[in-house]
Each structure stands twice: as structure tokens, then as C-alpha cells.
């Protein structure tokens, strides 16, 4: 990854989850949730929610009031190496 989302960046589910409180982005763009690695935000979100979910909308980046959807970061391709 490059720019805003570096390896080790923590992302957060939109809704509280019993599966995870957060996930981590790896250098290859995969996302680790509860010790499992997933190839995309949507695959990781499906693991947490148990149903298909568009992970670009569901995962949030940042802290507190400044949290943004992954899709907002994705719209800035020079900031994201995914």
C-alpha cells in the first residue's frame, strides 16, 4: 500500500460486530479479520456480517468523527496502493 493506507492500517466495521472490532490492511492489499486473511474489503465484510456486503462502503478508516468509508479513499487512487 501507499499513501494514506499503509501496511498495518486499521479499518473498522460500520456496525458493531461480535466477530471483530477492527481489521488490518496488509502490504498486498489483503485484509486480516480475526486471524483470517481476505483478498478484498467485500470478502472481509462478508466474513464479519455473514452475508454479501460491499466492503468499500462498509469498512471505515480513521478515528472518531473523521472516519471515512474506504470508497472515499478508493476515489483517490494516488493515495491507495490497492
Q: What is the pLDDT of residue 24?
A: 94
Q: Which residue has the higher pLDDT, 76 or 62?
A: 62
- What does the CA dihedral 59, 81, 30, 32 come to, rounded to 10 degrees? -50
Mean of the per-residue pLDDT values of the chain: 82
First-to-final CA distance of the chain? 6
User: pLDDT tens across 19-45, in order?
Assistant: 788 999 998 889 999 899 999 999 999
Amino acid at each position: 500500500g501507499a499513501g494514506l493506507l499503509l501496511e498495518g492500517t486499521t479499518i473498522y466495521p460500520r456496525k458493531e460486530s461480535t466477530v471483530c472490532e477492527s481489521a488490518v490492511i496488509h502490504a498486498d492489499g489483503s485484509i486480516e479479520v480475526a486471524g483470517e486473511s481476505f483478498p478484498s474489503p467485500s470478502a472481509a465484510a462478508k466474513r464479519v456480517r455473514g452475508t454479501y456486503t460491499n466492503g468499500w462502503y462498509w469498512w471505515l478508516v480513521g478515528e472518531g468523527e473523521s472516519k471515512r468509508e474506504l470508497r472515499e479513499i478508493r476515489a483517490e487512487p494516488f493515495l491507495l496502493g490497492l
